[in-house]
Amino acid sequence: MIRTALLVCAKDLRIEARSRVLLWQVVPFGVMALLLSGLALGPAHAGSSSAGPGLFYLVSLFVALLMINRSQGIESTPGTKASVATLGLDPAGVFLGKSLALAVELWITGVVLLAGAVLVLHTALHGAVLALPSIGVTLAAIAAAGTLYGALTTGGEGAATLLPVLTLPAFAPLLIAGERSFSAALHGGTLWEWWVILVVALVAYLAVGILLYGVLEES
Amino acid sequence: MMKQLSQRLLGPVTLVLLGLTFWLGLWVTPPDKVQGNLVRLLYVHPAIAWVALYVSFGTATIASGLYLWKRTRSLTMDRIAHCAMEVSVVFIVLTLVTGSIWGRPTWGVWWAWDARLTSTAILGVLALGYLALRRANDDPTLRARRSAVFAILSAINVPIIHFSVQWWKTLHQGATVFTSSRQVLVHGVMAWTLLISFVGFTLLFFWLLRARYRLEVEREESSAATLDEVLAARRSEGAL
């Protein structure tokens, strides 16, 4: 399973590195969305560091939607599913690999967005650095959940519009826990409670994915 | 025989219990010491929420789980899950509407950013997402598999809603009938009205589920018959 996961992860990251969609399309979209969020709030509110964590995660979710669509798009190209089936790859490994690749992409974008939040939204650098581990776990949980939900919508009628309808409500608890842990890191609150929720969510999504991804692949 | 009798009695018994709930709730029970007549809404709101979150969503989740389990996999399970989810949407909307009507005079707002309210609204969107997912897939097996997985994933939200009043500081009150110390805080005719309401709305769910299930079977049969007619027409065209 781990071997398959690493193979699939390397394959997805290699495709991403060659196409450079992440660099030239997704990251600029995220930065633009962050700027627009600041503009929508107005200079008085956007400049206060309290808005930073919420906006950071909101933009991260939009970016994640683009990436999930793209990650599943790779799998739905002609012949890919048949090749995976012929190779006899463990579906749990495929799920883990795709989740890991998505998480890596989200971490990279997250670092850029975090720098944007520090520069544009005046989020305290020290707090942002403290929040890094919780951001990493939140984005990994989003990646795991996103891989599952992405597989649910692949190939269906209106898949691109269906994906946000299915994923955004599911991401809401992750958004809340992530935002609270980020805010706690900025303002000195208790971090461990939100950490526990985030780790439990990550483990739960990974477990469900390992168990059920095969069922979705069968279809 | 017993099955037929229970099916025939389901509708009338439901109507009697719901009628009894409204009569007891509106005329027999006294106004509350603190809430006054507003308490009368609470004879229906918790029962509707019970059906929305636990009975209907629970039925949809269990049926989805049974569909995914190879031993019990059948399109009957998929139909039950689908029909239960549709009924769930109706009850979730009713939960939010009755809660909002109660919240306006009590809290001063129609909507509050409260953990219980927000998580219930999210569950409503998830239930709508389930129905959208079904519409996006034409192949019955693919549709059944995907929607079963989605229903199980969505069910994670139910315990979050249940424990939200304990995990967060919420405007929504905690348990009233059975507290964490197992003490019943509602007594007398108020408790009986609440109990009848819970049974009545639960039976209403099963009545609606049964009706919706029959409708779904008829719809499938009708579309299969239409397909047969079209195929027969094409074949006869070819024979000419």
Q: What is the mean pLDDT of chain B?
A: 87
Distance (Å, rounded) from C-alpha B205 to C-alpha B203? 5
* Across B127-153, average pLDDT: 90
Residue B31 lies in a domain: yes
Task: Quote the CA–CA distance of A67 and A150 in Å, as a whole number.
Answer: 10
Nearest to A166 among B123, B150, B157 (CB): B150
Mutation choice for B interface testing from A154, A166, A198 by most B CBs within 10 A: A166
Chain B residues lying within 8 Å of A160, measured CB to CB: none
Q: Which residue has the higher pLDDT, A9 or B170?
A: A9
pTM above 0.90, yes or no: no
Q: Where are the alpha helices (DSSP H) in A52-124?
A: 52-75, 80-87, 91-120
Rounded mean pLDDT for each run of 10 residues along chain A, 219 residues in total: 86 87 87 88 71 89 91 76 75 90 93 89 84 91 92 79 88 87 83 83 90 77
Closest CB to B68 among A157, A162, A215: A215
Helical H segments across A154-191, by residue range: 159-187
The minimum CA-CA distance between A132 and chain B, rounded to whole Å, is 25
Of residues B179 and A51, the one with the higher pLDDT is A51
Domain coverage including residue A180: 2-218
Residue B21, domain member (yes or no) = yes
Query: Which two structure tokens, joined as six digits, stand for A177?
Result: 């826990």
B160 interaction partners in chain A (CB closer than 8 Å): 173
Integer CA distances (angstroms), B143 to B45, B74, B150, B215, in order: 33, 13, 10, 19
What pLDDT was estimated at residue B160? Answer: 82
Beta bridge partners of B178: B184
- Asked if pLDDT for residue B127 goes beyond 70, the answer is yes
**Which of the 8 DSSP states describes residue B109?**
S
Domain count, chain A: 1
Asked if B136 lies within 8 A of A204 by C-beta distance, the reply is: no
Burial (CB count within 10 angstroms: exposed 0-12, middle 13-18, buried 19+), residue B156: middle
Please indicate, yes or no, if residue B5 is contained in any of the structural domains: no
Evaluate whether residue B157 is within a structural domain: yes
Residue B205 lies in a domain: yes
The number of distinct structural domains making up chain B is 1
Kindly state whether residue B194 falls inside one of the protein's structural domains: yes
3-class SS at B36?
Answer: strand
B7 assigned to some structural domain: no
Question: Is there a contact between A218 and B145 if contact means CB atoms under 8 Å apart?
Answer: yes
Of B141, B156, B157, the CB nearest to A219: B141
* Minimal Cβ distance to B150: which of A152, A159, A173: A152
Q: Is the distance from CB of A71 to CB of A102 less than 8 angstroms? A: yes
User: What residues in A contact B126, CB-CB < 8 Å?
Assistant: 166, 169-170
Q: Give B58-107 pLDDT, tens digit per residue.
A: 999 999 999 998 888 889 999 999 999 999 999 999 999 999 999 898 88
Contacts of A199 (CB under 8 A, 6+ apart): A137
pLDDT at B18: 93
What's chain A's Rg over C-alpha atoms? 17
Tell me how many residue pairs between chain A and chain B have CB atoms under 8 A apart. Answer: 65
Find chain B residues with C-beta within 8 A of A168's C-beta. 125
- Amino acid of residue B226: T
What is the domain range of residue B117?
14-239
pLDDT at B124: 92
Mean pLDDT of B155-176: 78
